[in-house]
Amino acid sequence: MRSGNSGLPVTVTFFFLLALNFSICDAATSGALQTQIPAIWYAPGSGPSASNTFYILTPGGQAVIIDTSGSSQAATHKTWIQAIPGYVPPSYIILTHGHGDHTAGVAQWRATGNPVVLATAMNQDQLDFQYRLTGFFNYRNAADGGHPPRVVQIPYPGDYGAPPFATQTFTQSYSFTLGGLTFMLFSAPGETADMLNVWIPELRAYFIGDNWYRSFPNLGSPRGTRPRFALDYVNSLNLALSYNAVMLLPSHGAQVYGQPTVASTLASYRDAIQSVHDEVVACLDAQFGSVNGCQNSNGPPTIEWMMQNIVAPPSFTLGESYGRVAWAVRAIAQDYIGWYLIPDGATCSMCVGDAENLFPSSLDSTLSSLDSVLGTGKNDGFITTSMAATAVSEGQSLLMSRGSAVKAARLADIALRNNSADPNALNLKYCALNLLANLSNNFTEKNWLQYNVAAVLASLGTNAPNCSFVPAFSAPAAAVQLQ
Ligand SMILES: [Zn+2]
């Protein structure tokens, strides 16, 4: 049981002996479990998505809580912890971050006395973010977490004003001593910007919050989240590694024991995140051609291509039971480049963004759904030659009748997915984008359109563009009509 603790300092050994006086606990009656460092207890969350409440009983007979569990278990966890032999109410509550599965029990614990509630200065920002998107997250969390949505009275309660939890905050680091133990807290952004970690040097115990769990991290949670920057994770994991902890205590799941195991566990996690991050960046930086092993014969490496091809290194063995590497790839890429995505090369082999995507989609519902089904590129076989010809002819008719040039460009894209070198489709796209460029009243939009007009012209090669079928337009009324 304690094989990983052979390197414990004398003080820790003392705590072991001290704690033995009150460490005999019947788990059936309390539910709280004692870790291999007897001063540290925890109420385990049930299942991988429920979090732990930690209870540290100092040699001086005072107590600290770290995290307070989610709404379904907070009360039970409190009951379990209050049954720990030698229990005293906590003097401090430390919140690793503002997610609801760590904060639901704060009010109940505050009712036990007047504990100081500690969090980072970013905690309120995290709470306000969740608060202002109450209606959105109600359903997204339900879908994501496998539980029914709540009844929400006020879906948008305002931009600020989430009820605060913390009574004391800090920016970078904060430490206090209590009952013979030192609690060192520091900002450790990762899963959230407000994440903090706790290091107790006398116990060589490191509480890592949600910056480590037994899966590839959810860098891009489908439920929606602010960016979880990969390099923040890497930096925070390096910080964790620097303490040479003998016990790693994640807020989800069981502890990791033994300095070598803790170190290799953290390093493997860090290296996997760094590796995936670096591959995404290499692909973003290799828009044309093959650089740093990022290859995409179909044009610039798209995010979809990266999602299909970038994997965690073989040294990473924790799997993807919670986060997925493909989601992380998408999140990392979009954190860097934003909403305007890289085209797949089928619709414009030399474009770095499809200019028609600067406009709200204006295809009719049938074509919109067709467009979204096509997705991945010219070789998917969804578009037949006759479908392509129809799309081009419809697009030409649109331009001839002074209809939407954006629609015409999208119809050209459909045909280009059958054959990215189709001269009639390229000509249609050229004429549509050229029209939009000439009429654009926006600096950025006009530049993108002109860039793509030149790219399409290059794709036309020796086929000179012919837009004589397009009637003359006069701005600005036509500019609205064209979109
Ligand atoms: Zn959590």
**pLDDT reading at 433 higher than 90:** yes
141 CA distance to ligand 1 middle (Å)? 13
The pairs formed by 106-114 with CB atoms below 8 angstroms and a separation of 24 or more are 106/68, 106/165, 108/68, 108/74, 108/75, 108/78, 109/65, 109/68, 109/78, 113/89
Q: Tell me the helix, strand and coil percentages in the chain, rounded to 5.
A: 40, 10, 45
Report in angstroms the alpha-carbon separations of 160 from 103, 227, 396.
Answer: 18, 20, 51
315 CA distance to ligand 1 middle (Å)? 25
451 CA distance to ligand 1 middle (Å)? 45
252 CA distance to ligand 1 middle (Å)? 7
Task: Write the DSSP symbol of residue 72.
Answer: T
100 CA distance to ligand 1 middle (Å)? 8
Structure tokens at 233: 């994770």
18 CA distance to ligand 1 middle (Å)? 32
- Report d(CA 151, CA 370) in Å as an integer: 36
Three-state secondary structure along 285-352? CCCCCCECCECCCCCCCCHHHHHHHCCCCCCCCCCCCCCCHHHHHHHHHHHHHCCCCCCCCCCCCCCC
How does 359-381 read in b/e, with b if 16+ C-beta sit within 10 Å?
beebbeeebeebbeebebbbeee
CB 8 within 8 A of CB 62: no
Tens of pLDDT, residue by residue over 249-295, are 999 999 999 999 999 999 999 999 999 999 999 999 888 766 666 87
314: preceding bond cis by omega (within 30 degrees): no
**Residue of 354 and 60 predicted with greater confidence:** 60
Query: In the prediction, which pLDDT does 234 show?
Result: 98
Report in angstroms the alpha-carbon separations of 359 from 4, 27, 349.
Answer: 59, 61, 20
Q: If DSSP codes are grouped into helix, strand and coil, which group holds residue 182?
A: strand
* Mean pLDDT within 176-202: 98
Structure tokens at 96: 């690793």
**pLDDT reading at 215 higher than 90:** yes
71 CA distance to ligand 1 middle (Å)? 12
Average pLDDT value over all residues in the chain: 87
* pTM greater than the 0.95 cutoff: no
Radius of gyration (C-alpha) of the chain in whole angstroms? 29
213 CA distance to ligand 1 middle (Å)? 10
209 CA distance to ligand 1 middle (Å)? 8
Query: Of 254, 217, 259, which Cα lies nearest the Cα of 242?
Result: 259
Please, which residues bridge with residue 117 across strands?
93
399 CA distance to ligand 1 middle (Å)? 54
Query: In the prediction, which pLDDT does 385 show?
Result: 83
Q: At what angle do helices 405-416 and 385-400 cross, to 10 degrees?
A: 160
Tens of pLDDT, residue by residue over 299-319, are 678 888 899 999 999 999 999
Instruction: Spell out the domains of the chain, with CATH numbers in brackets.
Output: 3-211+233-254 (3.60.15.10), 355-482 (no CATH)
CB 91 within 8 A of CB 116: yes
CB-proximal residues (5 Å) to ion ligand 1: 51, 99, 101, 210
Structure tokens at 228: 């979880």
Task: Write the DSSP symbol of residue 468.
Answer: T
Structure tokens at 482: 């064209």
47 CA distance to ligand 1 middle (Å)? 12
**Residue of 483 and 367 predicted with greater confidence:** 483
Helices and strands in the chain: count of H runs, count of E runs: 17, 13
Tens of pLDDT, residue by residue over 227-246, are 999 999 999 999 999 999 99
pLDDT tier at 21, thresholds 50, 70, 90: very low
